[in-house]
Copies of this chain bind each other. A is one copy, B any other.
Amino acid sequence: MDGLLPDLEIVRKDFPILERTVADGRPLVYLDSANTSQKPQCVVDAMVDHLEHHNANVARAMHTLGAEATEAFEHSRDVVAGFLHARSRDEVVFTKNASEALNLVANTLAWADAPLGVGAGDRVVITEMEHHSNIVPWQLLTQRKGAELRWFGLTDDGHLDLSRIDELITPNTKVVALTWVSNMLGTVNPVAEIARRAHEVGALVVVDASQAAPQLPIDVQAIDADFLAFTGHKTVGPTGIGVLWGRLELLEQLPPFLGGGEMIETVTMETSTYAHPPHKFEAGTPPIVEAVGLGAALTYLSEIGLDAIHAHEQAITRYLLDGLAGVEGVTVLGPAEVAERGGAVSFEVAGVHPHDVAQLLDSRGVAVRAGHHCAKPAHRRFGVQSSTRASSYLYTTPEEIEAFIEALQYTKSYFKV
């Protein structure tokens, strides 16, 4: 099969969990990577080494362990900056996940003074395919500040409906927040083009790269975003860490988010002054061992190469879509063309509820997600309440796709549809 990672079997050996068996001894077929990815040994080892040999608090500790921990932590910031092609390492803020990163932007825009602050009469534009984590923060912001929330609708084939972009992105638009790759439909959005239009009216562009970071090369300068968020656990890193990248001059201007240790310059009982970005937005002890893990994870992905990973995802996704096309009663939601999509494929099976599909697949060792995938509005748009989603990653093999399709046929026979 063209496009597969050349050393796929070696890559798989890097992921200890793939040797697990489930469901009466069947090998695990993990097709839930858009939900969370599995971790290579090098990430686990980096975390263990840190905990067993270098653990200390960072920035504030001047002893040997403190210096080692600080160096490891800040090294990961460099790795992230490189991964995103950021202008400066100071543009990289560590958060607990992508959701916090997006909320950080929405919250500081609630408290910011003009011209950044969002207030009555201002507009925030999102899209109907956003993950709840890129919807609810903007609902809270606009509701609390008396601003207006609008959104791009979707075309029947799962793309953003850009036909009314001029009505949507207006001079009073302060923020355009959108996902780069949809976690439900798989759609890859034209973020650079939308950023260009948003900047014409002076709006800030917030890109949710939670699904893009694992599978596409990212260059924040090339897409000309103002803020970009992603999450560690989907890029073969640990939970407990996410990243907000922001243009430095914006991070400088925004008010603080959480207050506390490490984000200050000086504190009196009456008032405080704040450190410069990124520390200004990192109150309290940061996710240290998680940053170490994330640094190892992004280094691992970069060594394999994001282009190679993307090609692999495309090949596997094409195979998956072809396989699904051969199963009667299956309807795929989202773009039919693999070139326009990422590696998450949501579908319906006529007559069997997604829960039951997932349950039956699980009994065959195949792990998929069933439900609304934190994208209720996108499901509603396509007239469904929930769906089943199979999502591959760099460790997914064609044989696993075959096992999945076979299990799907079995599911249909089990439920006699």
> B48 touching A61 by the CB < 8 A rule?
no
A35-43, A81-89, A166-174, A312-320: which lies at the B interface?
Answer: A35-43
> A285 touching B233 by the CB < 8 A rule?
yes
Closest to A362 in B: B63
Could you tell me the distance in whole angstroms from the C-beta of A339 to the nearest C-beta in chain B? 28
A115-123, A135-143, A218-226, A341-349: which lies at the B interface?
Answer: A135-143
Number of A interface residues in the complex (CB < 8 A):
102
Distance, CA A261 to CA B287, complexed state (A): 21
**Which among A17, A264, A284, A286 has the greatest number of chain B C-beta atoms within 10 A?**
A284
Q: A62-B359, A260-B102, A287-B96 are in contact. Are A57 and B44 (CB under 8 A)?
A: no
**What residues on B are CB-neighbors of A413 within 8 Å?**
none
| Partner pick for A137 among B32, B62, B238, B260, CB 8 A cutoff | B260
Instruction: Answer yes or no: A246 CB below 8 A from chain B CBs.
Output: no
Could you tell me the distance in whole angstroms from the C-beta of A383 to the nearest C-beta in chain B? 14
**What residues on B are CB-neighbors of A107 within 8 Å?**
107
> A369 touching B272 by the CB < 8 A rule?
no
> B63 touching A358 by the CB < 8 A rule?
yes
* 20 further contact pairs, Cβ within 8 A, besides A60-B369, A63-B368, A239-B288: A16-B53, A20-B53, A22-B63, A47-B47, A96-B96, A97-B285, A98-B284, A100-B283, A100-B284, A133-B259, A133-B261, A135-B272, A136-B259, A137-B259, A231-B284, A231-B285, A242-B284, A261-B374, A268-B377, A287-B287
What are 19 inter-chain pairs, A to B, with CB distance below 8 A? A17-B65, A30-B65, A62-B355, A62-B358, A63-B358, A63-B367, A63-B368, A66-B367, A99-B283, A99-B284, A126-B269, A131-B261, A132-B264, A133-B260, A135-B269, A137-B258, A231-B285, A240-B240, A269-B377
* Top 5 closest pairs, chain A to chain B, by CB: A99-B284, A136-B259, A133-B260, A240-B240, A99-B260
